[in-house]
Amino acid sequence: MMSIVVAYKYAANPQDTTVDASGVVDWSRAKAAISEYDPVAVQVGCTLADSLGTDVVGISVGGKAVSSSMAKKGALSRGMDRALVVADDATSTWNATTVASALAGLVGKVEGASLVLTGDSSVDESAKIVPTLIAGFLGWPCFQEVISVEAAGDGWTLTQSTAGGTRTVRVDGPVVAAVATDAAPVKVPGMKDILAAGKKPLEEVPVAELSTVDTALEVTGRAKPVAKARRNEMFTGDDAAAQLVAALRNAGAL
């Protein structure tokens, strides 16, 4: 049986954070929820699954909170049928490469998985590299800015948003697709959806069952962006506009 997989992240909301003078972000008061753009990928996956008569499996890697009742209902109320998660507080020190290797391992545990959908980026880090890393570990192709997906024989037809319009590609075999933020309108779960989500299965997969890749990463420093020096020139008189144009030309801005 073919299955559609959606990778989601239970992430803290940056709007609840504070930043100190050195540029270090304090996440201690940030509330966690399914990452802002992931519901779009879930919606695309569920719509496609309905048309194909298959199921949608959510996968996630995070701390123990990702397996909590609140996190489960927040994710599965969006329409997914079940979830596989790594819920281990040790993942807080993992970088994107290690997380992606674990997500790829979870994909391997979903029978018939042939399409992995992700959001455009995570709301907390916005690195936009996890989809390609997952694809690399799986040995599948990956496409970004995908606005629609259709089944096509043994593969998929993907439409991407590009600077000049759209591009449609046909892919044979399984694929990873990062869904554009405007790919589909997101439905807000109702109370019936939330209650039903509580009865859906969520399986915790121990890290020991996955072949994760451990890569060394050390943050050697943090700093705020250096403010650019401004000339603070003022132009007055009847020819102020001409003076401004001349100054901009001399500066290479025009």
Give the CATH number for residue 178. Answer: 3.40.50.620
pLDDT confidence of residue 1: 67
Domain that holds residue 138: 3-209
User: How far apart are the C-alpha atoms of 144 and 186, rounded to whole Å?
Assistant: 19
Task: Check if the beta carbon of residue 160 is closer than 8 Å to that of residue 143.
Answer: yes
Q: Is the pLDDT of residue 227 over 70?
A: yes
Q: In this structure, what are the phi and psi dihedrals at residue 123, rounded to the nearest 5 degrees?
A: -70, -25
Domain count, the chain: 1
Q: Is residue 250 part of a domain?
A: no
DSSP state of 114: E
Share of the chain above pLDDT 90, in %: 68
Q: Is residue 227 part of a domain?
A: no
Determine, yes or no, domain membership for 108: yes
Closest by CA to 107, choosing from 211, 250, 226, 213, is: 211
Q: What pLDDT shows up at residue 23? A: 73
For residue 175, being part of any structural domain is answered with yes
- 21 pLDDT higher than 90: no
Residue 206 has pLDDT above 90, yes or no: yes
Q: What is the mean pLDDT of residues 165-170?
A: 95
Q: How far apart are CA 186 and CA 36, in angstroms?
A: 11
